[in-house]
């Protein structure tokens, strides 16, 4: 029941071999930075860590390295399929799906919506099929979980023709994480499976919140792209769109250069001028760096403000769940966010807040308060689980496309 989980990007290829039932990770790692001429493989295998230099700097070379590693570790024979993280599925995909030539065509049609991610996701699918043609492959989309949003959540107040003709709307991201954490919250926090209202806060390098009612996403903070929403490590989050034209004129630069600054030079890094890493900023703030403190304050304010908006989407809130690198590990950030939500009755339990995180989940508010909790995410397990379920359910089609058949986009 092992699945090879792949996340192929322009600068990094991440991989893991995950048991689809119990979530055991046999090996996990990443190859980065791609395209630099100095790529390295970092891996963890059954309790040991290792770093190796690797030849080549493309996704092709990275997946060749993964293939050779799995052969070396004796893990190739036990694979039942390959699960791919695909960032943007547009409105074409509302669930994970077995990859066929028609599916690849539709993923490519979403490239205009996800130009920074989808080309690399597609290349990863194609190269994986070249190395392991006998294995069926499944696409798991960041956007799919949010396809249950109603029009009032996903529409922008722009000319309606933009939506009809150019697919301009909110799609949302981190859907695999929001789905996993909300499902686990129902089980771990004792919520009613058929009647619950959860706000999930995935706070990491990228950050997004989602309003989940009875297992369905009703709203989320990211939009057409992952740039919209709350403050992130290097992304601005919500801004006045006129800033783009204004700074293009002020800096005498291209729109692409402004967009690069909003994606790579804004957020925590842009405000602080120190770092995009929250722990580094906390240390700087404790040492008296006012801009580091301002960056943290702006981050916490934007998250709490977005959470309050999610309460409106749900009509009530049974639980606020923190996950992701910051959400799981930064107790001070959680405390500040909960403090800003005290108007809604949230009251932190300081000891519980300090005790949870770094792999340990649990409630962090007082028993008389609305519930807030930490639940570590596990996107790789969700991808492995989806892959195993789809391969089993669609065994005849999986055999056709995983049995050495040619997997090319329909033209």
Q: Please state the separation of Cα 11 from the chain's center in Å.
A: 16
Q: Is 286 a catalytic residue?
A: no
Nearest to 231 by CA among 290, 306, 321: 306
Does the annotation list 324 as a binding residue? no
Judge whether 48 is annotated as a binding position.
no
Task: Tell me if 102 is assigned to a ligand binding site.
Answer: no
What is the helix (H) or strand (E) element at residue 139, kind and residue range? Answer: strand 137-141
Q: Is 47 labeled as ligand-binding?
A: no
Distance linking the first and last C-alpha atoms of the chain: 34
Task: Answer yes or no: is 309 a known binding residue.
Answer: no
29 is in an annotated binding site: no
Whether 296 has a binding-site annotation, put simply, is no
Quickly count: other Cβ atoms within 10 Å of residue 110's Cβ: 25
Contact status, residue 205 vs residue 330, Cβ threshold 8 Å: no
In DSSP terms, 44 is beta-bridged to 28, 49
Buried b / exposed e along 209-240 (16+ C-beta atoms within 10 A): bbbbbeeebbbbbbbbbbbbbbbbbbbbbeee
Q: Is 81 annotated as belonging to a binding site?
A: no
Q: How far is CA 264 from CA 156, 205, 301, in A?
A: 25, 11, 21
Is 379 labelled a binding residue? yes
Name the active-site residue from 22, 142, 240, 297.
142
- On whether 403 is known to bind a ligand per the annotation, the reply is no
Are 290 and 274 in contact by the 8 Å Cβ rule? The answer is: no
325 annotated ligand-binding residue? yes
Q: Which residues are annotated as a binding site?
A: 7, 14, 85, 202-206, 325-329, 379
Q: Which residues are annotated as a binding site for substrate?
A: 85
Residues acting as catalytic residues: 142
Q: Which residues are annotated as a binding site for ATP?
A: 14, 202-206, 325-329
Q: Which residues are annotated as a binding site for Mg(2+)?
A: 7, 379
């Amino acid at each position: 029941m092992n699945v090879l989980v792949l996340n192929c990007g322009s600068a990094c290829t991440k991989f893991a071999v995950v048991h689809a039932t119990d979530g055991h990770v046999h090996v996990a790692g990443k190859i980065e930075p791609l395209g630099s001429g100095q790529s390295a493989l970092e891996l963890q295998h059954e309790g040991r860590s290792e770093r190796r230099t690797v030849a080549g700097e493309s996704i092709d070379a990275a997946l060749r390295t993964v293939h050779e590693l799995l052969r070396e570790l004796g893990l190739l024979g036990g694979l039942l399929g390959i699960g791919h993280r695909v960032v943007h599925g547009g409105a074409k995909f509302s669930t994970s799906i077995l990859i066929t030539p028609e599916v690849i065509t539709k993923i490519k049609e979403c490239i205009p919506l996800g130009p920074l991610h989808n080309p690399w996701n597609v290349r990863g699918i194609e190269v994986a099929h070249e190395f392991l043609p006998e294995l069926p492959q499944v696409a798991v989309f960041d956007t799919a979980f949010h396809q249950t949003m109603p029009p009032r959540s996903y529409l922008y107040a722009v000319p309606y023709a933009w939506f009809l003709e150019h697919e301009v709307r909110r799609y949302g991201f981190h859907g695999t994480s929001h789905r996993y954490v909300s499902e686990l919250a129902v089980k771990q926090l004792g919520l009613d499976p058929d009647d619950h209202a959860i706000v999930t806060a995935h706070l990491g390098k990228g950050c997004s919140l989602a309003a989940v009612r009875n297992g369905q996403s009703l709203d989320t903070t990211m939009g057409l792209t992952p740039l919209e929403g709350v403050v992130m490590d290097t992304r601005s989050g919500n801004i006045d769109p006129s800033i783009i034209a204004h700074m293009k004129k002020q800096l005498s630069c291209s729109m692409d250069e402004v967009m690069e600054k909003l994606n790579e030079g804004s957020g925590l890094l842009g405000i602080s001028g120190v770092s995009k890493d929250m722990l580094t900023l906390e240390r700087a703030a404790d040492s008296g760096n006012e801009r580091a403190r301002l960056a943290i304050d702006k981050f916490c304010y934007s998250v709490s403000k977005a959470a309050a908006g999610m309460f409106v989407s749900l009509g009530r809130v049974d639980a606020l769940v923190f996950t992701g690198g910051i959400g799981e590990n930064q107790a001070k950030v959680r405390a500040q966010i909960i403090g800003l939500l005290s108007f809604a009755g949230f009251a932190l339990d300081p000891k519980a807040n300090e005790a949870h995180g770094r792999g340990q989940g649990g409630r962090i508010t007082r028993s008389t308060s609305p519930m807030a909790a930490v639940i570590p995410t596990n996107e790789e397990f969700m991808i492995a689980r989806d892959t195993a379920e789809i391969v089993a359910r669609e065994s005849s089609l999986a055999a056709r496309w995983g049995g050495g058949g040619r997997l090319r986009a329909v033209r």
